[in-house]
Structure 1
Amino acid sequence: MSAYTIIVSDTALLQRVCGTNDSNLKLIESFLGVPVFARGNELSLGEAAPETEQQFNFIINRILDEIDAEGPQVADRDLIQSILNQGNEGRGDFSSSEDRRFFSQCSITIPGGVRKVYPRTKGQAKLIQAMRNNDMVFATGPAGSGKTFLAVAEALRLVLSHQKSSIILTRPVVEAGESLGYLPGALEEKINPYMRPLYDSMNAVLPKETVRRMTETGLVETAPLAYMRGRTLNNAVLILDEAQNTTKEQMKMFLTRMGEGSKIFVTGDVTQIDLPHRVPSGLVHALSVLESVQGIAVENLCAEDVVRGELVKRIIQAYEKDEENE
């Protein structure tokens, strides 16, 4: 059987497809289970079944579509992983052309960003669509499923494209009591460790200088949840992270800070509640009473959406199985 070959007439474009040291080809090989070769202006697939050849053709052409003259200099790992999920014909995800079209429409382009953000799973694509179509979104899921990262990326897109005026980032700190007065240092020094994951998400998609400037000018504001009381926030994107550690009263207070033209993204993991015994989670309560309210969307990510690596995914699945057996 002869090798299946795709000709890419532009060798510079071919290099961008292959990635640094053929890193992209290695990802594709691992996914297909068949060697992929780059020779001259050709990409060739080792001996494979017709359905694998079809997947290979789909994957390469989707990459070529994305990295046109306006795209990245080299296709990054997120883009490749996103496209591999789209090409997962017959293995669960994105088996229809309709699913693939939906997936490809859900990338996030941040003005001035260092890279485009692509959903790696169908669950992540649905979350991005929900954030675009609803004023309030609850996103639940295990660690590493991308819920906080995608919420921050979408908020940055909205602000830097001048659709919203600011981003307010908040988390419950020191469990639910928020006893900041007992901690040493100024307020900023006290809350920085709790807000670090949110800044990590911003630094992953924007130059650090841009993040610093946005913080200094008030485009991005971080505050403990307790400091939100009494405020009305208009034309802003409000993100509440680690929402499983809010009380019912804190959750109600936060949600009612929403002013005219604002959006709220609430993220949390209902399996990681750190509240004192017998204190009900505000996130769990909100999900039970608000899910049917018009304008509110709830997206539940799962272990299949975890993108931190296969080992993390297997750890989460093992804990889920153990909890089911208790």
Structure 2
Amino acid sequence: MKVEQLEDITIDQQQAVFGAYDTLIAIVERALMVTIGLHNSVVEIKGESDKNVEMAADVLRSMLRLYETGDTVDEEVVHRLIDEASEGGLEEIFKAMGDVITLTHRSIPIKCKTLGQKNYIKSLRDNAVTICIGPAGTGKTYLAVAQAAQELKQGVVERIIMSRPAIEAGEERLGFLPGDLAQKVDPYLRPLYDALFEIFGAEKAEKMRERGEIEIAPLAYMRGRTLSRARIIIDESQNASLATLKMALTRLGEGSKMVLTGDVTQIDLPKVTESGLEKCASILSSIEGIGIMRLNNRDVVRNKLVKDIVKAFEKAEADKGPAPGKQQRPRKK
């Protein structure tokens, strides 16, 4: 039986680590098969596995460390700490969360939560163009909007332009939706509004739209324009052809930066082969000033269940292997 102790834990620290009705500590106990008790100001961890007890102690220390730096410690954070502890990446979380990207309209700091996200933000800051490919829940769009908001606040850019292809992911079609064209495309742009409203607040975001500081439009509306001193975000880029992405990229004007985000496992085009995002990343990968970022399931921060879903689909795809009659291309080293 392995035993570890964390001593001199204050009452506030105890509440942060154990959570309401011990919900947080119960997650650690179930995941790592340990028993955690509190005796006065000492937290005691017991278990049959030395490795699991040590991991549990590391997770608890990390929870305390986050609490001391003012970060939220909730169930999703605890699950992420356990996952990172099992993969030896706990220290990466603290490296990632060192900088504040911007503040929401409620003055809540927006920080990266994984090393992959931190590298993504660095690419957004350092490169004129960033192409970010990754699964759902990795913060591709939200972090791009957060970085754009900070650049607008600092006067680095004069406006934020957000766009995405108006491609359906279900049964609804543009022609059968009620209203004029603006009302028809609005549902497809709603995720962009959601990110803006969280960062700026709904009322301020609407006023910024009226003043032209924020523009949200379908990708097709970009043709023929030159976009200067703007941060341009092209969301759901996996649903655009290579020709359309070329059109978007060549809109870049003086003082502008652009990011293309997308999940190549969720292509809604009639033919998967019509998607241009991977082709675009391959063509532009060697150009200076263009960053290619690839996030994975370790960067999923939306919900633990989302992370598990992404892992399950990745495993299913890996088990399936290449399609019959086709040979898998060797990866470039």
* TM-score of the two chains, using structure 1 as the length reference: 0.78
From 58, 61, 67, give the equivalent of 1:57.
61
Q: Give the alignment of 1:107-126 within 5 angstroms.
A: 107-110=100-103, 112-126=105-119
Judged with a 3 Å threshold, the aligned counterparts in structure 2 of structure 1 residues 31 and 184 are, in CA distance, closer, same or farther, namely: same
Does the 8 Å CA contact 2:129/2:291 hold for their aligned counterparts? yes
For residues 37-116 of structure 1, the aligned pairs below 5 Å read 44-47=43-46, 49=53, 52-64=56-68, 66-67=69-70, 75=72, 77=74, 80=77, 84=81, 88-89=84-85, 91-94=86-89, 99=92, 102-110=95-103, 112-116=105-109
Say if 1:142 and 1:306, in contact at 8 Å, map to a contact too: yes
Aligned AA for 2:60? F
Report the CA distance between 1:299 and its aligned residue: 1.2
Deviates more, 1:199-208 or 1:14-23: 14-23
How far 1:60 sits from its partner (Å)? 0.8
Task: Classify 1:53/1:174 alpha carbon distance in 2 versus 1 (closer, same or farther; 3 Å).
Answer: closer
**SS at structure 2 position matched to 1:222:** strand
Aligned match of 1:161: 154
Q: Distance in 2 between matches of 1:130 and 1:194?
A: 27
Q: 1:136 to 1:20 in 2, by over 3 A?
A: farther
2:202 is the counterpart of 1:202: no
Query: Which residue does 1:256 correspond to in 2?
Result: 250
Q: CA RMSD in A?
A: 3.5
* Structure-1 residue corresponding to 2:139: 146
Matched, 1:294 2:296: no
Partners of 2:54 and 2:224 in 1: CA distance: 63
Give the superposition deviation at 1:145. Answer: 2.2
State the number of aligned residues: 310
Q: In 2, Cα distance between the equivalents of 1:78 and 1:116? A: 19
Alignment of 1:204-223 (within 5 A): 204-223=198-217
Task: Report if the CA contact (8 A) 2:16-2:64 is conserved.
Answer: no
Q: Note the C-alpha offset of 1:16.
A: 7.0
- Verify the 8 A CA contact 2:197 2:205 in the aligned structure 1: yes
Query: Structure 1 vs Structure 2: percent identity of aligned residues?
Result: 36
1:127 and 2:120 are equivalent in the alignment = yes
Displacement of 1:150 after TM fit?
1.6
Instruction: Give the direction of change, closer, same or farther, for the CA distance of 1:151–1:28 in structure 2 (3 Å limit).
Output: farther
TM (norm. structure 2) is 0.77
Shift of 1:33: 5.9
Gaps of 5+ in 1: none
CA spacing shift, 1:169–1:113, aligned 2, 3 Å = farther
Structure 2 residues not aligned, in runs of 5+: 48-52, 324-333
Cα distance in 1 for partners of 2:213, 2:30 equals 42
Shift of 1:200: 1.6
Residue of structure 1 equivalent to 2:164 = 171
Query: Match for 1:238 among 222, 229, 232?
Result: 232
Q: In 2, Cα distance between the equivalents of 1:290 and 1:169? A: 21
Q: Give distance in 1, aligned partners of 2:154 and 2:23.
A: 32
**2: CA distance between counterparts of 1:224 and 1:62?**
40
Q: Distance in 2 between matches of 1:321 and 1:52?
A: 27
User: Structure 1 residue 223: deviation in Å?
Assistant: 0.7
Instruction: Give the distance between the partners of 2:84 and 2:113, measured in 1 at CA.
Output: 12
- Secondary structure at the aligned position of 1:293 is classed as coil
